[in-house]
Structure 1
Amino acid sequence: MNRESSFDEHMQKKVFWLLQRLTSYSLWVRKRDAWKIFADAYENAVKTWPASQSEQMPADNLPTIYNILSLYNEGLQALRTGDRSVWRSDGALNIAVSQYYGVASFLYPNADYWERGVQQAPYPAKVEALNQLMRASEFHGDAAPLESQRRESAFIGGPGFLLNPRSYQYGFHTLAYPIFPEVLPEIPEAKDVLVRSGQTVPVSGIWEPVHVERDRILGLIPHGSARIESAGCFNYFVNGTAAPKIIGRYIEATERFERVGVHWRLLWEDRRYKDGIVPNESEYFIQPKSPLSQPDEDVGPINAYDVCPISGWWEAVGHSQSSRHISAGELMPDLSVRDAKGEMVSHLVAWRLSRPD
């Protein structure tokens, strides 16, 4: 199958793995456990922070905070048996995430730091400590399986949403970038299951948007076998939800991106936990490795958004005059190149070590 050139095999494997990670029982357990720590710390702050200090946490948040914890427990009990309706609009985990963003928006509604649900300045140290505990329950992209009645197009519009480190950086906080296993799982052969945008998704799993074309007799009547070509990035859908459209080209007249109807083809049916067994999912939470020793020869190529193994000067393959210093443990960058129109465009490149420190 010919997938779009900007979504190469290496990126496909990463997106596929990330979607499995974001919908794993173990990740949602971690969300719940982190929320429990935050809930206890928030209640303690409400009860013990002296009234004389300027920093005060709204006690009105407490009922919602503990309701979210209850929703996590309810949802995890169902997910452990393979019930993914917990991510439907009326499901426990969907409601928990929705209420989470309400708490996050009103965590510290002090006019010096906050306006209309948006943080405007760095929080005071004590408040920021609570904020960090709260954000520990959030994983970038964890809304991937959630049903939304307001969403007009697929949640993941392109691989950069999950793979670009800048996507993990928000106004005043940054979410942890995942560490990938050394060997990523292969992309399975697509199943003979297709649904069109607007139709009901028959099984939970990872789906790929595709264009389906048939040969035409005299250019009018479709006939013969279909040609199927990729139309974009993988997404995770829960059975019973409506297959979405994808984002197309930008329409200057409306100053909006068009929404394009497509077919979605099943890549992988999610049957995890239906037997009541949670397998070892520790690969989803790999800890950073210590920097490698310096090499005796050139290292590379290392793809953009992979972890830099060696501190030194690196050069983008196929791009002269691109040498830059990158430290071990940092993520390899993309490269901005001026196109034919003179505009700077980001390219996902591979890097080769030219001179170690």
Structure 2
Amino acid sequence: MNEYDMQDDATRRKVFWLLQRLTSLSLWKAKHSAFKVFAAAYETAVRTWPRTDPEPPSADHLKTVHEILSLYDEGLNELARGHRFVWREGQALNRAIDRFNYLAKYFYTNSKHWERGGQIEPYPPKVDALARLMHASQVQKEYVPLEIWGTYYNFAYLQLPNGLLDRDAYNHTFYKLAFPNFPEVLPEVLPEVPNPSGPVIQSGQTVPCDGIWEPVTIEQSRVLNVIPLGAKLFGNNGCFNYFVADTAAPNLEGFDSATFSSTIVPTHWRLLWEDTRYANGIIPDESQYFLDPPEPTELANREAGELVRTGDICPVSGEWNTEEYGGKTVQVGRRRAHAGPVGQGQAIRHE
């Protein structure tokens, strides 16, 4: 995977926007809608699957499927009123994710395709079609607002931004999750990340409000309450996370190279943005979270084999070779065709 710097402005803006998206009512409603499509298809499959087919879906899963639908109904009604406790342990949307994970884990337990709670081989085609519908309701890192609870370590869900920003992370071997489309190609148009002075809490303390929090180091001058003019009060200490009010602020995860084990790294957390969306039932326009991928341009649709000349705009990135000068090959991006070592002449793209 690529590495991303949480002190880089473009990276910070993208992570901030993605956390707002992951905790939006619109995204969770979209998850619900997609799961309803799967639920209808699965129920039909259970009812109509040929008796002679050795690959039937389990009717036992229908109870879990209906439970998840009910939890979505309950949780979305609360979230639409700005009640984000639905992501706390034991609450509706937290339980919906838990039950979904159970369903996905035991979806098809044929020993040729499944072992010890995990898929090891591609499912048979008809089963795979149902599994794809199930995963269509899943969103990368959808669990980020859930309460971190029940372990001694209590590590923050997001230690690094890679799982959000790297396309490779969306490939889960037997299925892929959709990569979100940002409002514009250039990250500079994304909202600027706020730079407030607080509030600041420590790992283990109670989170005072819903929102996006940044792990930070505190400058010594801040600790001593002596703040020189223009001094930087906080230093970034990792990836932003989303916390729900009245939960415990988590730790960061370290690594002990001597024992090859994780270590607890307490940190300070600074509130970047308090989430007050949907108060009084007011739902803002959230269409930016579901932008269609940019349509290919006419140039990008050109067939492989089309000729371009030096100085022309390169229609697509790829491997091109010249018909002159011995047929040399170059790798060219979407820019003007490079004359360079292949000389002045025509180039043709390979598939």
TM tier, shorter chain? 0.7 to 0.9
Is 1:207–1:234's contact at 8 Å kept on the other side of the alignment? yes
**Off by >6 Å, runs of 4+ in structure 1:** 295-299
**1:210-221 correspondence to structure 2 within 5 Å:** 210-215=216-221
Structure 1 residues without counterparts, runs of 5 or longer: 300-308, 315-322, 329-351
**What residue in structure 2 maps to residue 336 of structure 1?**
none
**1:216-295 correspondence to structure 2 within 5 Å:** 222=224, 224-225=226-227, 227-248=233-254, 250-294=255-299
Partner Cα distance (1:353, 1:58) in 2: 56
Give 2:194's match in structure 1, choosing from 163, 188, 198. Answer: 188
Task: For 2:180, give the aligned amino acid.
Answer: P
**What residue in structure 1 maps to residue 323 of structure 2?**
none
Q: After superposition, give the CA deviation of every residue in 1:39-85 in whole Å (9 maximum; x if it has no partner).
A: 11111111110110011111111111100000000000000000000
* Secondary structure in 2 matching 1:224: coil
**Quick one: structure 1 residues 324 and 271, their matched pair in 2 at CA, closer, same or farther if it must change by over 3 Å?**
farther
Q: After superposition, give the CA deviation of every residue in 1:253-311 in whole Å (9 maximum; x if it has no partner).
A: 22023221111001000000012011111110111122235599899xxxxxxxxx962
Following TM superposition, by how much is the alpha carbon of 1:324 offset from its aligned partner in structure 2, in angstroms?
A: 5.1
> For the pair shown, which has the larger CA radius of gyration, 1 or 2?
2
Paired positions, count: 308
Partner Cα distance (1:311, 1:89) in 2: 49
**What residue in structure 1 maps to residue 180 of structure 2?**
178
Q: After superposition, give the CA deviation of every residue in 1:215-267 in whole Å (9 maximum; x if it has no partner).
A: 49xxxx9562384211111111000111111123x312220232211110010
CA RMSD of aligned residues (A): 2.6
**What residue in structure 2 maps to residue 304 of structure 1?**
none
Moved more, 90-99 or 255-264: 255-264
Following TM superposition, by how much is the alpha carbon of 1:158 offset from its aligned partner in structure 2, in angstroms?
A: 1.0
Is 2:207–2:249's contact at 8 Å kept on the other side of the alignment? yes
**What residue in structure 1 maps to residue 305 of structure 2?**
none
**1:86-165 correspondence to structure 2 within 5 Å:** 86-149=86-149, 150=151, 152-165=154-167
Q: After superposition, give the CA deviation of every residue in 1:91-135 in whole Å (9 maximum; x if it has no partner).
A: 100000000000001111111111121001001110011001100
Moved more, 169-178 or 224-233: 224-233
Partner Cα distance (1:191, 1:204) in 2: 17
Structure 2 residues without counterparts, runs of 5 or longer: 301-309, 320-329, 339-346
Partner Cα distance (2:28, 2:72) in 1: 8
Partner Cα distance (2:119, 2:336) in 1: 41
Instruction: Give the TM-score normalised by structure 1.
Output: 0.80
**What residue in structure 1 maps to residue 326 of structure 2?**
none
**1:296-311 correspondence to structure 2 within 5 Å:** 311=316
**What residue in structure 1 maps to residue 35 of structure 2?**
35
Partner Cα distance (1:310, 1:142) in 2: 36
**What residue in structure 2 maps to residue 56 of structure 1?**
56
Partner Cα distance (1:233, 1:280) in 2: 27
**Quick one: structure 1 residues 179 and 5, their matched pair in 2 at CA, closer, same or farther if it must change by over 3 Å?**
closer
Task: For 1:125, give the aligned amino acid.
Answer: P
Following TM superposition, by how much is the alpha carbon of 1:7 offset from its aligned partner in structure 2, in angstroms?
A: 3.9
Partner Cα distance (2:135, 2:196) in 1: 36
Is 1:313–1:354's contact at 8 Å kept on the other side of the alignment? no
Task: For 1:234, give the aligned amino acid.
Answer: F
**What residue in structure 1 maps to residue 208 of structure 2?**
202
**What residue in structure 2 maps to residue 312 of structure 1?**
317
Task: For 1:49, give the aligned amino acid.
Answer: W
**Quick one: structure 1 residues 310 and 97, their matched pair in 2 at CA, closer, same or farther if it must change by over 3 Å?**
farther
* Secondary structure in 1 matching 2:272: strand
Aligned-residue sequence identity (percent) comes to 45
Task: For 2:130, give the aligned amino acid.
Answer: L
